[in-house]
Structure 1
Amino acid sequence: MRSRVPLAIIGGIICILGVLLAAGGLWLITLGGSWFYLLAGLLMAGIGYGMAKRRRWALPLALALLIISIIWSLWEVGFDFWQSVPRIIAFLVIALIASAASPWLLRSDSKAALSCKPAAVLSVVFAASIVAFFTGMFFPHPTVVAENAAPAAVVKPDAGQDSGNDWPAWGRNVEGNRFAQFDQINKDNVKDLKVAWTYRTGDLAVNGSEYQVTPIKIDNTMYLCTPMNKVIALDATTGKERWRFDPHMKITDSNKQWKRCRGVGYADLTADKVSPPVASVTQNTSATTPAACRKRIVSTTNDGRLFTLDAETGALCDDFGTHGFVDLKEGLSEAPEQGSYYLTSAPLVADGVVMVGGKINDNISTDEPAGVVRGYDVRTGKLLWAFDPARPEDSTPLPSGQNYAPESPNFWGTASYDPKLGLAYFPTGNQTPDFWNGNRHPYSEEFNDSIVAIELKTGKLRWHFRTANQDQFDYDVSSQPILYDLKNKDGTTTPVVIQLTKRGQVFVLDRRDGKPVVPVEYRKVSTDAMPGMKVASTQPYSKISVGTEPLKESDMWGASIFDQLYCRIQFKDMRWEGEWTPLSDKKRTLIYPGYYGGMNWGGGALDASTGTLIVNDIRMAQWGRFIKQDEAKRIGLKPSTEGEYSEQKGTPWGVERSMFMSPLGIPCFKPPFGTMTAIDLASGKTKWQVPMGSIQDAPVNGVVPGLYIPMGMPTMGGPLVTKGGLTFFHGTLDYYVRALDNDTGKELWRGRLPVGGQGAPMTYIGKDGKQYVVVVDGGATRTGTNANRGDYVIAYALPEK
């Protein structure tokens, strides 16, 4: 008698859950989806009823359901661990309950259905299987496993040596490869890394500030900037502050919630370090440069200024611009919102020229300022040239008082430079607003989402290549181009530029003329667009890509069978004909790859000694829907640049958008949600791909899991690669800096950080002969709160023996 009440309660719960699963399954079938959930729900309901009534057939029915779910899981996803979990785990639990309860289930002659011993054996088997699943969650599951652990062949033994013991530019060098030839820290001893010193800047990453900076290091001084654009110099071996400079950034409507400084530039104006810019433009020589500012730190501000500082003292270089500053807003039209034009990324400083673009607000309104790219004399601040997409044939700066054409594609990342060719390479975004393109100018369409090559000394256009045609989804190209001399099978080399994109496409082009070296295919895409939209019938796809497989119903995921079913219903109810399915006002459209990436501004790293490209990516799907601005206002949607509603003033439609999430607050699509990938550029083959980051510190509906489950989370920032066979990375949502084996992707070391990070590590050899690895740690990206924020600069080194 005592067993009847618990069995009735448990059976009733299982029965109710089964009915709900069957009802959802029936809904999915009406949308053209899988029949499994209806069948599973009916079986669950039957099992629950049988248990409540103490019927012997409840156990074989539970076993049948488990077997069917395993077969179905193998058919849909094979042995993919994370996709198997929600498909099987619930039915394992039901089978465990049924087997444990089987001694109390009655035969027709009222005798027990199963003796205690066999029931116990089954229970142990099912319990062990559940434990095995949960144990598996605490281990990484590579998407691509390395075929072997043998070191990659060295094709360029002297790679990285041109920068000596320093890290003189944002991407280590003007080629942007983030590779250092140091091997003092290597696979064998990286496990011994310890914190050598920690410095606090005093500028916490709060109220819209984010630390995304990669410092530079010259001689024995490290230079970095804070989100408030303060520039700080530190002793590279002790972390002791040498000087700081505050440009007193003006807070505007636009930058008050978007304050970043990703890096600074450096120029040595001595005659043997830098050649003067075009003689017809400036007659200054190193002999006329004051000794106090022969070595300069070059930086920008979030309120649209460019300035230079004495690298030794931190004093303004008074001979640069107007008392050290150049106003980058000159020549730009007024924006609809105060302070819409601002700078966040490190400038390119090379051969006497400072090259800058600028960031504008996305999705607020039309009539944003020009995306003009400009070159300035690093000595005087004089404007040398202006590349304007609206007049690409003429790079002569406009006369004072005239403005460059508004709404052209802007360049908001960091450029790269080939001194032999004299060409600078930079990526572009597109004309805002991002999601309605019916108002795009011809010059915007020509240069949107492009890689552009110009002569650094003159700004003259040499070539450009579009990574997207008529962008509808904010697929700005933002990562720094990586320059590399690719070795061919016949022993010759081809100078290439490697461009990572938010779409996950990796374009490899001849940097002399922009022609693809890795094949590019133009595939047909959906053109079922709203009246007035401009859509292209084809889009470019590289032979090399990361995380770009089109989503399908079986890719929908969830922590349980129930939210997986919810996600499948939502997926089938959306517009989705693959990437580039246009937005509509009728129903939501799935957006994948998402508009955060793929690969974002952090870029990748290239082991220049072996030709191995290392890149982290984001895999987060979103959805979007056009909505009339008046209707959005009526239902209370609040417009913003990054939020769930963008007004897009000046266009017929606003856009409502969000992450594609389950009711539990987790992504509706299969893990990993962020990876690190190694690609052999010579063959185009993916060598390995591993999930990056755990759920440990990532809030889910406000709850921090606290468990180290390395599922692979969205990443930010970029990697660092060294000749020691290591890839360092700290741009995960959990609070760690990691070192991976370059040849396998295996994690060799993990160091706990005070808060999350989102920049890119750098490394150098200090005056004391030690190799240091440095991270700037201010908090994980876009948490929407001032909690768990920081201002840390942390250097790691091997301990003294």
Structure 2
Amino acid sequence: MIGLLGVALALGGAYLAWLGGSWAYIVLGLLMAGVGFSVMAQRTIALPLSILLSLVAAGWAFGEVGDVFWLVLPRVGVFLVLPIVVGVLAPFFGSTERNPVGGAVRSGALRSGGVPRAWGLGIAAVYAIIFCGVILGVFQPHAEVTADASQQPKADGALGQQNGNDWPAWGRNLTGDRFAPYTQINAQNVTDLKLAWTFHTGDLAIDGSEYQVTPLKIADTLYLCTPLNKVIALDPVTGKQKWRFDPHMQVTRGNKGWKRCRGVSYADLTTMSLLGPDAKAFGPEETPASADQASSVPAPAAPPVETATPAPVAITAETPCARRIVSTTNDARLFELDAATGALCEDFGDHGMVNLLEGLGPTAPGSYYLTSAPLVADGVIMVGGKINDNMTVGEPSGVIRGYDVRTGRLVWAWDASRGDKDSRPLPAGQIYATETPNFWGTASYDPKLGLAFIPMGNQTPDFWTGNRHDYSDEYTDAILALDIRTGQEHWHFRTANNDMFDYDVTSQPILYDMPDGKGETTPVVVALTKRSQIFVLDRRTGKPVVPVTDRKVATDGMPGQRISPVQPYSALSIGVDPLKESDMWGGTVFDQLYCRIAFRKMRWEGEFTPLSDKQKTLIWPGYYGGSNWGGGALDPQTGVLVVNDIRMAMWGQFIKREDAAHAGLVPSTEGEYSEQLGTPWGVERSMFVSPLGAPCFKPPYGSLTAIDLKTQKTLWQVPVGSIQDAAIHGVFGQKGIIPHLYVPIGMPTMGGPMLTQGNLAFFHGSLDNYFRAFDLRTGKEVWRERLPVGGQGTPMTYVEKGRQYVLVVAGGATRTGTNANKGDYVLAYALPATP
């Protein structure tokens, strides 16, 4: 067996070398074959050959990849085992001398040239110790960047103190920093954290439902939504239900397999600046000067919109619906509830509901739906929407709309086809331009500037760009700044000039006043992207604060493709160095060789290598991220940005639809084959994995990273997540073997982190069933608690009756493709109550 495996390794190595890859596997394979055939022939040379092989493998490994544990492991693991096996067998090789009386074997007596038993077993023991040391390393986390105590940024404890004991917005505040100024639970006592209460929502995360919600806490009530858009109010101390509202979401072709509600929003009409009855958006004749990147698309004619309504009565704390929960549905409705009772606010829209399909045309039902919490600020509710990707051309508009928070009246509508030219709503009966880039994540808001900061997507289908409109490319994957009261565009900045790989910007932008080192601050917006490029922009102008450069990219695409020759790159990024052959990985040297061959056979000219119909193209970063909708968190007291990421290389290839049908591929919007009707090609795509289901590229596959924004230095970077609960055959949990071993290799992440003044970063969106706390100063994991099922959302924290709670909602890990291991848990943790 050893000999034949060696022959296979040498032949595979020869093929890799023929493809232009490393020659090392030929040498390793020949040595391994020599060891195997020497063992079979009972030749004592097998032992020194096995030692030589291990030394050659180690020298090659460290020479090629340095001392990176997870890259060295597959290169040496098998070759450390061989001397153990051969060392045990070697004393029995050859013919032993026989006792002339009775023919008994004399202990340790071997024919000339044999290996004494002590030598063989001694060598086996040494290698066994080395191998055990390596195996112990498998169960330890290996930081990519270790914290340096001398680089710890200083804290300004006066910052980040807003919102008191509450968590009133999805990112705790509209700046999206997810920082809570609480110290009751801290890095010193977090090990004492215990489960305080559990609540079951009653809606299991099954049949396309996923729990990704971050609850709100306002005054004495928690608010959350289920994937079916039911809104539930809970007591924050006991977890007992106060009220529940069911909007009776309709199942459509779009949401049948994709039900999400990431959060609800809150409006206090007694304190909020409300729009007047005659408020309107800028018309073309009133448009202020545009920013540098303004679109040149001419504005369509739009007659004035009548906005006058009867003056509403004054609102006091005793007025019904003075405090409102604002939410949306997966069948495209916007609604408001009385925060105290859960009753619909009858004065909003049509008895509490607004139909968001109006103005979107006949393709919208079943395609357009909402998953993220709307932005509520300065009297306006701002909503975008998700559309079905990759199914067909002609999908509905990605229009962003602003509604009066009190009445539900449509105040403004911004669409890429009009850009900064016009943000007035279209008259009844008219349809917003189809196929424009959409916004489906969460926005942020600066009350001083009156601007909302919006992460934009791209025109669908994602993988074919030949049908892209000029205005779509102008706003693709952009950060867009709009006046919240008028919808007027102030500026936009593209994070990609042309997007062929579903690199929607979905993370909530984080707003921060960054010190400039001269005693002043610059108001910045921090934009995290699926490309793992982190763009830091002046939020007044959209100009980069951290340098951005244009780099040339490959343009050899299919006929008819629109491809930009350059793409923007920030000086700040995480884990996206270009992949090379030596980065290919496997559990053993054999599947690593397979992955190196597969890499060599793919198209790969760097990021943005266009897809082809002739061979697979490597997609790196993968279209899941980088940073996805979960976003990051920022400690405003120190300027430390904490980001979890996904590191999953993918592949894609154009395919004729008739060939796909003949192969039995089933089209879907999110699966491994999409038809892209109306374009020349369908697209087949998947994760880049070995036949064993393990990723074909180096770990970690998900990490947690802390960056000092003032210096742009990475303070620490650690893997997050283990393989314990993830099926081996398929990284995202498709049917396979669950290892039940805690190997903290770092797994793909969902959701985002939450930070506290107690020097803690909490996270639970890994693929294993754990809730974790990390020391914010060092990245060291200081607490880990087993969850009943996995989680995908973002933790939140609050203080009620003098006690700090940390809360998560867990419905199961992402995309398991099955109803197994799913739940409906709301779990609150606290320190033991003092007598």
Q: TM-score, normalised by structure 1?
A: 0.97
Pairing partner for 2:370 from 324, 330, 343: 343
What is the distance in 2 between the residues matched to 1:725 and 1:276? 40
Pairing partner for 1:31 from 19, 26, 30: 19
What is the distance in 1 between the residues matched to 2:20 and 2:44? 36
Match of 1:745 in 2: 779
Match of 2:265 in 1: 265
| Contact 1:66–1:88 (CA under 8 A) maintained in structure 2 | yes
| Contact 2:272–2:379 (CA under 8 A) maintained in structure 1 | no
What is the distance in 2 between the residues matched to 1:796 and 1:786? 27
| Contact 1:277–1:353 (CA under 8 A) maintained in structure 2 | no
Match of 1:274 in 2: 273
Determine whether 1:728 maps to 2:762: yes
Q: Which amino acid aligns with 2:131?
A: I
| Contact 1:278–1:458 (CA under 8 A) maintained in structure 2 | no
Match of 2:743 in 1: 709
| Contact 2:269–2:315 (CA under 8 A) maintained in structure 1 | no
Residues 226-375 of structure 1 aligned to structure 2 (within 5 Å) = 226-270=226-270, 272-276=271-275, 279-281=278-280, 284=311, 287=314, 291-335=319-363, 338-375=365-402
Task: Pick closer, same or farther for the CA change 1:285–1:582 going to 2, 3 Å.
Answer: same
> Is the deviation greater in 773-782 or in 287-296?
287-296
| Contact 1:522–1:541 (CA under 8 A) maintained in structure 2 | yes
Pairing partner for 1:545 from 573, 586, 590: 573
What is the distance in 1 between the residues matched to 2:161 and 2:313? 26
SS at match of 1:287: coil
SS at match of 2:630: coil
Match of 1:467 in 2: 495
What is the distance in 1 between the residues matched to 2:536 and 2:234? 37
Summarize deviations over 1:405-442 as a string: whole Å, max 9, x none. 00000000111000000000001100000000000011
Cα distance, 1:105 vs structure 2: 2.8
Match of 2:58 in 1: 70
Match of 2:825 in 1: 792
Determine whether 1:216 maps to 2:244: no
What is the distance in 1 between the residues matched to 2:676 and 2:622? 19
Pairing partner for 1:522 from 544, 550, 554: 550
What is the distance in 2 between the residues matched to 1:712 and 1:636? 34
What is the distance in 2 between the residues matched to 1:796 and 1:194? 5
Match of 2:124 in 1: 123
Determine whether 1:94 maps to 2:106: no
Determine whether 1:571 maps to 2:571: no
What is the distance in 1 between the residues matched to 2:592 and 2:12? 11
Cα distance, 1:150 vs structure 2: 7.5
| Contact 2:400–2:413 (CA under 8 A) maintained in structure 1 | yes
> Is the deviation greater in 204-213 or in 114-123?
114-123
Q: TM-score, normalised by structure 2?
A: 0.93
What is the distance in 2 between the residues matched to 1:742 and 1:530? 47
What is the distance in 1 between the residues matched to 2:184 and 2:555? 54
| Contact 1:619–1:673 (CA under 8 A) maintained in structure 2 | yes
What is the distance in 2 between the residues matched to 1:667 and 1:511? 39
Pairing partner for 2:44 from 47, 50, 56: 56
| Contact 1:308–1:316 (CA under 8 A) maintained in structure 2 | yes
What is the distance in 2 between the residues matched to 1:274 and 1:196? 38
| Contact 2:385–2:439 (CA under 8 A) maintained in structure 1 | yes
Summarize deviations over 1:583-611 as a string: whole Å, max 9, x none. 00010000000000000000000011110
Residues 52-201 of structure 1 aligned to structure 2 (within 5 Å) = 52-106=40-94, 110-111=111-112, 113-148=114-149, 152-155=153-156, 157-201=157-201
What is the distance in 1 between the residues matched to 2:631 and 2:315? 38
> What is the count of residue pairs matched by the alignment?
785
Q: Which amino acid aligns with 1:751?
A: E
Match of 1:3 in 2: none
Summarize deviations over 1:309-337 as a string: whole Å, max 9, x none. 0000000000000010000000002228x
Summarize deviations over 1:340-383 as a string: whole Å, max 9, x none. 00000000011111000000000000000000000000100000
Match of 2:285 in 1: none
SS at match of 1:749: strand
> Is the deviation greater in 146-155 or in 381-390?
146-155
Summarize deviations over 1:676-710 as a string: whole Å, max 9, x none. 00000000000000000000000112110001110
SS at match of 2:232: strand
Identity %: 63
Summarize deviations over 1:605-632 as a string: whole Å, max 9, x none. 0011110000000000000000111111
Q: Which runs of 5+ in 2 are unaligned?
A: 97-109, 281-308, 730-735
Task: Pick closer, same or farther for the CA change 1:275–1:64 going to 2, 3 Å.
Answer: same
Match of 2:682 in 1: 654
Pairing partner for 2:727 from 692, 699, 713: 699
What is the distance in 1 between the residues matched to 2:448 and 2:276? 15
Q: Tell me how large the CA RMSD over aligned residues is.
A: 1.4
SS at match of 1:117: helix
What is the distance in 2 between the residues matched to 1:278 and 1:545? 46
Cα distance, 1:54 vs structure 2: 1.0
SS at match of 1:162: coil
Match of 1:10 in 2: none
Q: Which amino acid aligns with 1:143?
A: E
What is the distance in 1 between the residues matched to 2:43 and 2:728? 40
Match of 2:706 in 1: 678
Determine whether 1:15 maps to 2:14: no
Summarize deviations over 1:707-729 as a string: whole Å, max 9, x none. 11100000000000000000000
Q: Which runs of 5+ in 1 are unaligned?
A: 1-12
| Contact 2:151–2:715 (CA under 8 A) maintained in structure 1 | no
Pairing partner for 2:809 from 776, 792, 800: 776
Residues 277-676 of structure 1 aligned to structure 2 (within 5 Å) = 279-281=278-280, 284=311, 287=314, 291-335=319-363, 338-392=365-419, 393-676=421-704
SS at match of 2:149: coil
